Amino acid sequence: MTTKDVQILIRQNLAMYRVGEKTFTEEQAATQLATWAAALKDIPAEAGFLAMQRAFTVCRFPVTLADLFEQLRRMQSTQRPTAAEEWAALLKEARKAASDAGQYTYTMRLPDGRPQGQAARERNKARFESLHPAAQKFLGHVSELVNLGDCDDTSLRFERQRFEKAYREYIDNEPLDVAALSIAAGAPTERLQGVKEPRALSCQETQQRPTLSR
């Protein structure tokens, strides 16, 4: 987002929350604009405007940067597989890994000269490294992928709950992805009609509207 885009966000925010009026100086207004502009400089404009509109529907007080980034992460999460989908993918690989682990002690050599046991270990290592980063973090080691594949149904229900919780936490704290946000925002959002080219907020204007900070 450009500085002008951020000024539009601030104007929308001020217009939405004309209560609890609080005076702040021109210097404070400039600091606020600079802070928001620095934080949002890599965010696609359409995503930033959509996040603000979403925040307006849930925030009872002026929208903060924290509120805005929470909405951006929620938008990004819509472009990620669900926890249930990732669990299904993980369990599929775990069962394959458990099957291959049964060959770890095999010494018969394959046409390429490797023992079957070595080939099985290498396949499981590759499986673990191909997992979603959240799954890798959840398991910690390839041996836990094998152990998961050997779990009974009762244990799997417990492990699924643990994994889905860990996956959601991972997604909630994942760095923002410009490409995912652009897709989530879809077509360029309609900006408010009648919004003029933004200019720096004057001290007089800031005295007439509540600050965004809290």
- If phi over 0 gives left and psi between -120 and 50 gives alpha, with beta otherwise, what is residue 132? beta
Pick the closest to residue 205 from 62, 67, 7, 4 (CA basis).
7
pLDDT for res 22: 63
Q: Three-state DSSP class for 6?
A: helix
Q: At what angle do helices 65-77 and 26-40 cross, to 10 degrees?
A: 20
Place of tokens 């003029």: 196
pLDDT band at 21 (very low <50, low <70, confident <90, very high): low
The 10s digit of each residue's pLDDT in 102-157 is 999 999 999 999 999 999 999 999 999 999 999 999 999 999 999 999 999 999 99
CA dist., res. 128 & res. 154, Å (int): 23
